Amino acid sequence: MAELENMSQKLSQLHLVEKSAIYMEVPQPDYVLLLDSQAWCNKDPVLAATSSNHTVRLFNRNTLASIGTVEGHQKAVTGVKFGKTNTDLLYTSSLDGTVRCWDIRSNLKQPVQSFTVPESLPKAKLCCLDISCDDGILCAGTEQFKAKKKEKKKNKKTCDEESDMDSDEEDATVYMLFWDCRKSKMLGCYKESHQDDITQVCFHPSHPDRLASGSTDGLVCTFHINETCEDDALQCIFNTESTVYKIGWGGKDNNAVYCLTHMETFHIWDTVESESMLELKNPRDLFKGKSQVDYLVDCFHGDQDRDKFHLLTGTHSGSLNIVELYNSQQTVVATLEGGHNATVRCMNWDEETVTLVTGGEDSMTCLWKPGQIKSEHTSSKASERKKKSQVKSKFKASVTSKPYQKKDIPQMKSHSE
């Protein structure tokens, strides 16, 4: 209990210590959409931040000093992840249908690896990616797209023979694609578990064969990908009745999966018992009168107690709250102000240093540390530009199909095919 109180005290002391604009030379700000940083790094860790101008900016995570820029995609960057064992490798996915791997020790002009979708899926746009904890497998999810169906048709020459032919009918499909990270080789795909855009894929922190996925169809699924086919690999299906925004692993032995939705609901499920552990239908009402909540940003663990979750919430004016979720109680343990002046889109938490980095629609990244005094490191030009900018949301968050309940799953394509 003393350890829990100590972590809550540290979180309550978080203050803004560094602040950096991701881009300052345009009249409108570029949103900071995604953040990731090197783990287990003895030197100053590198922070990667994706922006709405199709680039990835690299920063020193301890100071937010700019290090470099990755410009390797033709369309929006939808995922950014550092390698788990080789942290000098950075993986990015894009709506241009590619995943690229960059060595941050190089000049960043060319990727060291490229992963492409099969020629049979030319319209596939990648929405998200993740890498297994042993850096062995890369997974990316696609948007829903239409592809020609294969049909068995009678051969005109011999009526008793059949052959595969392309049908004029198009079938709407989404895919989870798997590659061998070391060889850039496509391993296979899943295509039956979701019916709409796959917004999230997330490998287990310590088991490389366990994967969670989330979609705008409202479902969160978990898999054991060492099984030979998707039907056998599928372990759990949870229905959020909304569109999935972010997911992650947590709880004891990381056997729980949490989920944030675009309707600002929050869920935690036990993947061993396949049951709900916590459901917050409307956190905005829950904290009304105590702390304003316009939206949910993300969730993280504050300490080694994996049963304890911390939810980062925000307002459209840029202020943030850290809400502690423990023993069915919700407590606001910290309020973070002075960093952002618009909606915050993403965060990166470092458990070892108890530091938090946030990124928002004001094009700013902010570093928060416990027990420090606020100091700003951004130009007056950038500050003036931020105040004059009118920020409009660009993120698609509509439900294109109703969430469905778990049902019998038809025969699925093998992972090894």
Average pLDDT over residues 334-352: 94
Average pLDDT over residues 246-262: 95
- What pLDDT, on the 0 to 100 scale, is given for residue 10? 76
C-alpha 275: how far from chain center: 23
Task: Compare 136 and 393 and report the one with higher pLDDT.
Answer: 136
- What pLDDT, on the 0 to 100 scale, is given for residue 413? 39
Residue 214 has pLDDT above 80, yes or no: yes
Angle subtended at Cα 406 by Cα 404 and Cα 407, rounded to the nearest 5 degrees:
105
Record the tokens describing residue 166, joined without a space.
């392309």
- What pLDDT, on the 0 to 100 scale, is given for residue 153? 46
Task: Return the half-sphere exposure (C-beta side, CA atoms, 13 A cut-off) of residue 184.
Answer: 12
Which residue from 102, 103, 183, 90 is spatially nearest to 129, judged by alpha carbons?
90
User: How would DSSP label each residue in 7-55?
Assistant: HHHHHHTEEEEEEEES--SSSSPPPEEEEEE-SS-SSPPEEEEEETTS-
Residue 54 has pLDDT above 50, yes or no: yes
Q: How far is CA 228 from CA 154, 197, 232, 237, 416, in A?
A: 31, 24, 7, 19, 7
C-alpha 164: how far from chain center: 38
Which residue from 203, 184, 185, 188 is spatially nearest to 254, judged by alpha carbons?
203
- What pLDDT, on the 0 to 100 scale, is given for residue 156? 36
Q: How does pLDDT run across 114-147, given as a tens digit for each residue? A: 999 988 887 799 999 999 999 999 999 999 987 6
Q: How does pLDDT run across 141-194, given as a tens digit for each residue? A: 999 987 665 554 444 333 344 444 444 446 789 999 999 999 999 999 999 999
C-alpha 207: how far from chain center: 18
User: What does CATH list as the number for 2-388?
Assistant: 2.130.10.10
Q: How many CB atoms lie within 10 A of CB 172?
A: 12
- What pLDDT, on the 0 to 100 scale, is given for residue 5? 60
What SS3 class is residue 397? coil
Q: In whole angstroms, give the CA distance from residue 159 to residue 169.
A: 23
Task: Compare 1 and 196 and report the one with higher pLDDT.
Answer: 196
- Selection from 71-80, 114-123, 287-296, 363-372 with the highest mean pLDDT: 71-80
pLDDT-based confidence at 29, cuts 50/70/90?
low
Q: What is the mean pLDDT of the chain?
A: 82
- Percent over 70 (pLDDT), the chain: 78
Q: In whole angstroms, give the CA distance from residue 248 to residue 256.
A: 8
- What pLDDT, on the 0 to 100 scale, is given for residue 216? 98
- What pLDDT, on the 0 to 100 scale, is given for residue 3? 56
Q: In whole angstroms, give the CA distance from residue 327 to residue 334.
A: 18
Residue 31 has pLDDT above 80, yes or no: yes
pLDDT-based confidence at 56, cuts 50/70/90?
very high
Domain chopping of the chain, boundaries: 2-388
pLDDT-based confidence at 231, cuts 50/70/90?
very high
- What pLDDT, on the 0 to 100 scale, is given for residue 24? 54
Q: How does pLDDT run across 284-335, given as a tens digit for each residue? A: 776 766 678 999 999 998 666 667 899 999 999 999 999 999 887 888 999 9
Q: Are strands 344-350 and 329-336 parallel, antiparallel or unpaired?
A: unpaired
- What pLDDT, on the 0 to 100 scale, is given for residue 8? 73
Residue 396 has pLDDT above 50, yes or no: no
pLDDT-based confidence at 1, cuts 50/70/90?
low
